[in-house]
């Protein structure tokens, strides 16, 4: 019987000296022999019999659109665990990978390449985040590698070290009067630093409008000195004691919200516009979240974050962090490190924030949970809202879904008992819901899409010192340019759509493929002069209102006017000043903004979603109209909404005029149940695109033949609503099933089969689980 005690050094009887870290003991060495050797001092430690050295392996995920993992050898000096970043050889290059599994058995007959290095000694993705992303990869049928890398900031995806660049901290130690008269900016910087009690970092100084050379000059003159930044203790005592005061209705709703102490629970907070849902979130976090834990607040749009961040910072100070795609790489890395290091941050972010590596997450809030922006439209097509619910389940913490117009899925889950339904149907303070009127514009002359009663209502609003909001859900000047001589309309040469006229830039643009060409005054087909814009966009409405009300500022808010960093903050400051103005904008204005002096809302055209082929269009229409209507009358003054329509007798618009959402939602759910549409059945869409429609349809026909199972209903394949986009011909195949698990299993089999198939060059496919758009 060989001895099983451990050894530090051994010269076996065949004369081979073993290294201290390789304790290979001959199996015929008995216990008595080891005791003798131990007594004469040839061994310092205890002994153990070891098996011969077995190479260690790791299974690595790469940030590639391929549904497979790669096996590598792990050198003896590298210790790895799942979630850790590594550098590996990939072809002739090096690539950054994430460890998925260690000591996996590789296929036989393959020579493995070794891992070159580990980026950190700790996993970039902790176990809970790793489980979340593995679930998302399986549920949304997307390659695991791309899913995992979505949780990393861009700098770490490229292999940069997970450390922040040093930001020197400076403190004033001299008098500005010591500077010469021509050193104006240095004097201003020194005075500015004197007003910062704890000093400031170089980045903060540069953001304040100064330069690095001015910092160096003051350092050389010994008027500032480098110091260590103050250690943040979370919040000041004054900030810690701040807590929102709730109305009786808000307090009643707050009492129904689930406590983090009770573990996982999902609550749907149905709060009408202006009811103070944000105050409720703040009160909940102040009363339930201590100084040690993390929280996540999701918002649908980047442009909502400045206003939301300011309100949260008032109550939580430096605990607030921000995450969205418009941040610089260094800013995202800094926020990511705070979260991964376990700092007690309250993160406000867009949908990708739900994938970040939290280590002590205690509460999740999803504001405007109905918004389609929570669903990723390309690549990894996940739902931020649904992923947040699953993440709360993994973290055993509550998730609050808030909306004035809940999605059909969430409302159905509340009716079935999966979610708790909490109602908040009173506006905060003395505010009252606005009155909604349908304005039939049939046979009425229009100026830039606006009827005479609408213009008169705006004039009255401005004369009372108030603000008006005009909602136009099309950017640009006009959606179509048409020749009234020959009927020609300018179409995109690469898409099945018409070019939008942008008069500010004298350009015709495609909003699908970004094709652009110069605008002309003559018809490109017949050279006629009757080449005119048809329809209205935000630019055209802005021009009409500027000419009608020359003494009143007209503020346009759309994707074109808010491209530059900080532009939305400037717009919000102008509106929040309370001075009379007219806001013109798209859906960006309909979400979450609080404009106390806006008392009138004009909806230019409410008919867009009434007759769409997409079954979700009525839901999205009523949500958008109620959300934009909710911008009116949020202060002490009453609000009015005028909805221009050519179908004032439509029952959906009549329901809108009553201002109550849940009865409309009940009606829409009944229609969905009759048609066995989501949420009553699970849905997935296979999309294909190629140089010809024939190739796209052929691929989808093949999928259809393989998906013919008894429990699955199949629609198509059919060309997409916009069949040609960027010179690619697109088609789709819709699958519906009452059993979500069965559908998921079927989708997995189909995706694996497609991965193993050799497809013709240029033919691409994608899958969209729980799609928000079916066109």
3-state SS, residue 115: coil
Are the C-beta atoms of residues 404 and 273 closer than 8 Å to each other?
yes
Instruction: Confirm whether 328 is domain-assigned.
Output: yes
Do 397 and 418 belong to one domain?
A: yes
Are the C-beta atoms of residues 400 and 284 closer than 8 Å to each other?
yes
Do 308 and 363 belong to one domain?
A: yes
The fraction of the chain above a pLDDT of 70, given in percent, is 90
Do 619 and 740 belong to one domain?
A: no
The residue out of 400, 424, 448 marking a domain boundary is: 424
Are the C-beta atoms of residues 141 and 770 closer than 8 Å to each other?
no
Instruction: Give the integer Cα–Cα distance in Å for 456 and 253.
Output: 40
CATH code of residue 704: 3.30.70.600
Q: Which of 61-70, 385-394, 484-493 comes out lowest in average pLDDT? A: 484-493
Do 377 and 243 belong to one domain?
A: yes
Give the Cα-Cα-Cα angle 727, 732, 734 (nearest 5 degrees).
165
Instruction: Confirm whether 109 is domain-assigned.
Output: yes
CATH code of residue 242: 3.40.50.300
Mean pLDDT of 397-426: 96
Q: What pLDDT score was predicted for residue 429?
A: 74
Is residue 42 over pLDDT 70? no
pLDDT in tens, 282-310: 999 999 998 899 999 999 988 777 778 88
Burial class (CB in 10 A: 0-12, 13-18, 19+), 127: middle
Do 264 and 352 belong to one domain?
A: yes
Instruction: Confirm whether 774 is domain-assigned.
Output: no
Instruction: Confirm whether 509 is domain-assigned.
Output: no
Highest mean pLDDT among 394-408, 438-452, 475-489, 524-538: 394-408
687 torsion bin: left (phi>0), alpha (psi -120 to 50), beta (else) = beta
Do 389 and 274 belong to one domain?
A: yes
The fraction of the chain above a pLDDT of 90, given in percent, is 46
Do 244 and 180 belong to one domain?
A: no
Do 308 and 385 belong to one domain?
A: yes
Q: What pLDDT score was predicted for residue 52?
A: 56
- Binding-site positions for Zn(2+) read 483, 486, 492, 495, 510, 513, 523, 526
3-state SS, residue 734: strand
Do 143 and 182 belong to one domain?
A: no
Going by C-beta distance under 8 Å and a sequence separation of 6 or more, which residues neighbour residue 427? Answer: 272, 273, 274, 275, 276, 433, 634
Q: What pLDDT score was predicted for residue 176?
A: 74
Are the C-beta atoms of residues 325 and 350 closer than 8 Å to each other?
yes
Instruction: Give the integer Cα–Cα distance in Å for 386 and 392.
Output: 10
The residue out of 424, 448, 464 marking a domain boundary is: 424
Instruction: Confirm whether 496 is domain-assigned.
Output: no
Q: What pLDDT score was predicted for residue 566?
A: 58
Do 273 and 337 belong to one domain?
A: yes
What does pLDDT average to over the chain? 85
pLDDT in tens, 539-585: 888 888 999 999 898 888 877 666 666 566 677 777 777 788 988 88
Instruction: Confirm whether 208 is domain-assigned.
Output: yes
- Report how far Cα 165 is from the mean position of its chain's Cα atoms: 26
**What residues form DSSP beta bridges with 201?**
169
Mean pLDDT of 133-147: 96
Task: Name residue, tokens 């046979």.
Answer: 443
Instruction: Confirm whether 296 is domain-assigned.
Output: yes
| Summary count for the chain: helices (H), strands (E) | 22, 34
Are the C-beta atoms of residues 445 and 493 closer than 8 Å to each other?
no
Going by C-beta distance under 8 Å and a sequence separation of 6 or more, which residues neighbour residue 27? Answer: 2, 49
pTM given for the model: 0.84
Instruction: Confirm whether 375 is domain-assigned.
Output: yes
CA 116, 121, 126, 131 torsion-angle sign? positive
Q: What pLDDT score was predicted for residue 17?
A: 36
The residue out of 157, 178, 208 marking a domain boundary is: 157
Do 665 and 541 belong to one domain?
A: yes
Is residue 13 over pLDDT 50? no
Highest mean pLDDT among 160-169, 364-373, 589-598, 748-757: 364-373
Cis peptide before 679 (omega within 30 of 0): yes
- Binding-site positions read 483, 486, 492, 495, 510, 513, 523, 526
Do 549 and 622 belong to one domain?
A: yes
Domain residue limits at 117: 56-157
Overall domain count for the chain: 6
């Amino acid at each position: 019987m060989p001895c099983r005690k451990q050894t530090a050094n051994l010269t076996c009887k065949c004369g081979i000296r073993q290294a201290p870290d390789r304790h290979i003991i001959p199996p015929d060495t008995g216990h008595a022999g080891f005791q003798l050797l131990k007594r004469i001092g040839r061994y310092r430690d205890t002994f153990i019999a070891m098996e011969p050295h077995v190479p260690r392996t790791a299974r690595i995920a790469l940030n590639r659109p391929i549904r497979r993992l790669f096996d590598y050898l792990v050198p003896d000096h590298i210790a790895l665990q799942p979630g850790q970043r590594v550098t590996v050889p990939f072809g002739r290059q090096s690539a950054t990978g994430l460890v998925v599994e260690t000591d996996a058995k590789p296929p036989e007959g393959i020579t493995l390449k070794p891992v070159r290095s580990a980026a950190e000694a700790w996993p970039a993705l902790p176990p809970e985040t790793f489980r979340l992303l593995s679930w998302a990869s399986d549920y949304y049928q997307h390659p695991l590698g791309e899913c995992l890398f979505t949780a990393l900031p861009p700098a770490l995806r490229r292999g940069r070290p997970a450390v922040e660049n040093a930001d020197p901290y400076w403190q004033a130690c001299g008098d500005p009067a010591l500077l010469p008269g021509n050193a104006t900016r240095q004097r201003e910087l020194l005075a500015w630093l004197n007003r910062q009690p704890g000093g400031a970092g170089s980045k903060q100084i540069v953001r304040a409008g100064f330069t690095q050379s001015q910092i160096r000059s003051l350092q050389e003159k010994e008027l500032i000195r480098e110091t260590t930044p103050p250690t943040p203790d979370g919040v000041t005592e004054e900030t810690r004691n701040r807590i929102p005061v709730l109305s009786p209705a808000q307090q009643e709703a707050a009492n129904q919200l689930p406590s983090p102490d009770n573990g996982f629970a999902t609550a749907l907070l149905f709060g009408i516009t202006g009811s103070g849902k944000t105050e409720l979130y703040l009160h909940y976090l102040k009363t339930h979240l201590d100084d040690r834990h993390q929280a996540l607040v999701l918002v649908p749009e980047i442009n909502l974050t400045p206003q939301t961040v300011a309100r949260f910072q008032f109550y939580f100070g430096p605990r607030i962090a921000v995450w969205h795609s418009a941040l610089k790489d260094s800013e995202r890395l800094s926020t990511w490190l705070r979260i991964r290091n376990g700092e007690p941050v309250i993160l406000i972010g867009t949908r990708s924030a739900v994938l970040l590596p939290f280590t002590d997450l205690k509460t999740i809030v999803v504001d405007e949970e109905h918004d389609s922006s929570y669903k990723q439209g390309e690549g990894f097509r996940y739902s931020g809202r649904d992923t947040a619910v699953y993440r709360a389940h993994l973290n055993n913490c509550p998730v609050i879904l808030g909306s004035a117009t809940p999605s059909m899925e969430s409302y159905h889950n509340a009716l079935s008992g999966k979610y708790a339904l909490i109602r908040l149907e009173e506006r905060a303070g003395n505010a009252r819901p606005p009155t909604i009127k349908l304005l039939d514009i049939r046979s009425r002359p229009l100026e830039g899409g606006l009827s005479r009663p609408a213009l008169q209502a705006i004039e009255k609003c401005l004369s009372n010192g108030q603000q008006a909001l005009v909602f136009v859900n099309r950017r640009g000047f006009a959606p179509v340019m048409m020749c009234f001589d020959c009927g020609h309309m300018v179409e995109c040469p690469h898409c099945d759509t018409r070019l939008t006229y942008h008069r500010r830039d004298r350009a015709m643009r495609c909003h699908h493929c970004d094709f652009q060409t110069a605008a002309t005054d003559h018809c490109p087909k017949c050279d006629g002069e009757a080449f005119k814009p048809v329809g209205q966009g935000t630019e055209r409405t802005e021009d009409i209102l500027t000419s009608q009300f020359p003494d009143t500022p007209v503020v346009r808010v759309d994707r074109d006017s808010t491209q530059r960093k900080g532009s939305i903050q400037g717009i919000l400051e102008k509106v929040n000043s309370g001075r009379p103005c007219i806001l013109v904008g798209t859906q960006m204005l309909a979400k979450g903004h609080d404009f106390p002096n806006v008392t009138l809302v004009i909806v230019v055209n409410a008919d867009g979603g009434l007759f769409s082929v997409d079954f979700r269009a009525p839901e999205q229409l009523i949500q958008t109209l109620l959300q934009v209507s909710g911008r009116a009358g949020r202060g002490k003054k009453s609000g009015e909404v005028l909805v221009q329509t050519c179908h004032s007798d439509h029952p959906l618009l009549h329901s809108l005029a009553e201002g109550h959402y849940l009865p409309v939602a009940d009606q829409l759910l009944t229609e969905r149940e009759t048609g066995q549409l989501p949420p009553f059945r699970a849905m997935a869409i296979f999309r294909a695109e190629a140089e010809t429609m024939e190739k796209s349809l052929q691929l989808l026909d093949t999928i259809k033949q393989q998906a013919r199972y008894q429990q699955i209903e199949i629609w198509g394949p059919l060309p997409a609503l916009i069949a040609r986009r960027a010179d690619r011909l697109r088609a789709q195949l819709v699958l519906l099933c009452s059993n979500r698990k069965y559908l998921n299993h079927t989708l997995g089999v189909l995706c694996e089969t497609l991965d193993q198939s050799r497809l013709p060059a240029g033919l691409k496919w994608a899958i969209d689980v729980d799609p928000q758009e079916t066109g």
